[in-house]
Structures are given as structure tokens and as C-alpha cells.
Structure 1
Amino acid sequence: MRQIFAALFLAAWMPALAWADDPVEAVRAFYKPPFEAELDASRYTDPALAVIQTAHDGNTEGEGSCLDFSIAIDGQDYDDEEITRTLRLAEEPAGSGEARVTASFSNFDTQQEVVWTLRQVSGDWKVADVEGNGWRLSELCQ
């Protein structure tokens, strides 16, 4: 009897679990206040993972991080309410197991766009690169 209830429970939650494997939802996590998801290395794959690890783990005596801004908002200061209210995410399939998600939003009345490149790794969508206004994550911290 317990197995039947467990199976019914899992069946009821499967659509929600599958939704988390969507590239757009993977990027949406980076835009939930307080915008700390970008510190979670488990959300990345190389080449972005190497940069995140260097930025947060590779600091030496007295040196600051080579990432001194939020990659999700492409800046240091932000209005989380405005970003949340204006955020639009658009997916563009980039090939087998890859996707690009463009995040468009307003921050302090300025339109911004951040492009996320994701790769499917063991069934999960992970960030492989991020591109903002004049920078690409994979090219930082070298």
C-alpha cells in the first residue's frame, strides 16, 4: 500500500520536477531576490564553472574577486523590485543539449539584456557562459 501512495505522490509531482529541467527556469533562479544563485557553483559547467571557481575560491592575500559585479544584472547596484517586475526570459534552442536564454529587464529605468548559454549535463541545465554589455564570463578572470 505504501508503494502505491509513493507512486501516486511522485506521479503528481513529476510535472513540477520536469519543469525545473527547463533552461528558462534554470536562468529564472538567478533572478530571484536576493540574487545569490550565481554564487552556487553547482549551477555551472565549464567554461563558466572555472571562472566562478577562480573568482570565489582563487583569491590570494589581499586581492579582491575578479568578478566585482553581479553577472545576472550586469552591474553592482540594482532595484530588485523593478528587475522582478520587468524580467522577460526568451529561450532560443542552440542545438542538441544546448540552449540560449536572453534575460531582458529594466534596472533603475535602464533596459538591460543578459544572454545565458546553457548545456544539459546529466539531465540538468547548467550555465556554460554568460554575456552582458561588453563582457563574456568565459573571458573574465584569466
Structure 2
Amino acid sequence: MVRRRRFLSLLLVGIVTAGSGGGACAEGLLGAKAPTAPTASAGAAPTASNLATAVAPDSPTAQVRPFYADGADLASADHERFVDPAKTVLEKNEALKKSGQGDCLDQNMPLDQVPYDKAVLEKTFKSLEAINGDDARVVVAFVEGSEPHRLEWKLKKVEGAWKITDLLSVTGEWALSQYQCE
């Protein structure tokens, strides 16, 4: 877990410092820019947004945005937005629910398992998208009840469309792909 946190920290610092203007836009999301931080690997400059910012319909952020703009949870999400390993975990969870054994996932995972308050979320939500070839990451941050939350969505381009491969909570130290729904 320590190695993962270190990797995520370096990734986040790299995303913030990449691009000519992306770092300045992202400072409010991920903190002040570190003077000796490494830069992100080659790829498009990261773009920052909030819930009021329009996003391209075919962007990685467009796949993530409904969980925040509409309050969608994992149960009501279109599972066609997902590919493995996330899709397998969601399918196993559905099978578990249908068998009457309950739910192994908190359906509020996109909000780091905290209550959804749209007004508060709209005021504090920020996201940062970084694309590197057929892989993308969308980091979201928001404050709920004076507690900051940061999540990372991993996506992959599959047949020309962005699909979610995993969801990780940087603050809660969990990953959707690590759940065993059996």
C-alpha cells in the first residue's frame, strides 16, 4: 500500500506540473506546485475542470462526470462504461445481490463513501484529466463535511471509446479492483 501511495503521489505531482498552463490550473485541486517535482510522461497536457465546465462528450472526464453531476452510484451506472478489472467486480457484485446474499460494494464509492450533497459538491468539486495514448486518468477532489476527498479514475480507450478500468480512493486507500465479491 505504501508503494501505491508513493506512486499515486508522484503521478499526481507529475500531472500538476505537466503542460505549460495545466499546472497553474490544477494547483487548487492538488496543492501548490512542488519546485523539484518530476514531470508527467509524454502525453496531452492535463486539463482541469469543475462541475460547471463543459467537457467533450468523448473525453475520459465525460465517463466520470455523471457520478458527480447526477449523483449516479455504481448500482445505477451503465456497466458498459466499464472494462476489466472494474467490470468483473461490478458483475460479481450484481450476481451476489441477485443471489440474495447482499451487496459487497458501497454504491457510493464515487463519492468516497460519504453522503451526496449536490450543493456542497458543486462548490468544492475539481477534476484533472490526463491522457497518455490509450490510457487516461481523471483525478477528482471535493470537500464534504470539512474533509477533503481525492479519487482517481483509470480509463482505457477500447474500440475508440473511453472505458473505466478502476476507481481508487487516494484518501480512503481502497481500489474497486481489489474488492472480492464472491
**When the two structures are superposed, what TM-score results if normalisation uses the length of structure 1?**
0.77
Alignment partner for residue 48 of structure 1, among 80, 83, 86?
Answer: 86
Q: Distance in 2 between matches of 1:137 and 1:130?
A: 5
Q: Distance in 1 between matches of 2:107 and 2:66?
A: 18
Aligned ranges 1:1-142 → 2 under 5 Å: 19-36=56-73, 39-59=77-97, 61-93=99-131, 95-132=132-169, 133-142=172-181
Aligned partner of residue 59 in structure 1, secondary structure: helix
State the structure with more CA Rg.
Answer: 1
Question: Residues 92 and 60 from structure 1, CA distance in 2 versus in 1: closer, same or farther, beyond 3 angstroms?
Answer: same
- Contact 1:45 1:128 survives alignment (8 Å): yes
Q: Partner residue of 2:3?
A: none
Amino acid paired to 1:138: S
Q: Which structure 1 residue ranges, 5 or more long, are not aligned?
A: 1-17
Q: CA deviation at 1:33?
A: 2.5
Q: CA deviation at 1:60?
A: 5.6
**When the two structures are superposed, what TM-score results if normalisation uses the length of structure 2?**
0.61
Q: CA deviation at 1:127?
A: 0.5
Q: Distance in 1 between matches of 2:106 and 2:61?
A: 25
Aligned partner of residue 137 in structure 2, secondary structure: strand
Residue correspondences, number: 124
Deviations 1:42-86 (A, max 9, x none): 110111000111112333644211102412101142222211221
Q: CA deviation at 1:141?
A: 2.3
- Contact 2:114 2:144 survives alignment (8 Å): no
Deviations 1:74-130 (A, max 9, x none): 11422222112211110123x321101100011222110010000111221111001
Amino acid paired to 2:175: R
Q: Which structure 2 residue ranges, 5 or more long, are not aligned?
A: 1-54
Aligned partner of residue 104 in structure 2, secondary structure: coil
Amino acid paired to 2:180: C
Amino acid paired to 1:141: Q
- Contact 1:78 1:108 survives alignment (8 Å): no
Q: CA deviation at 1:21?
A: 0.9
Structure 1, 128-137 or 22-31: larger mean CA deviation: 22-31
Identity fraction in percent = 29
Bigger RCO of structures 1 and 2 (CA < 8 A, at least 6 apart): 1
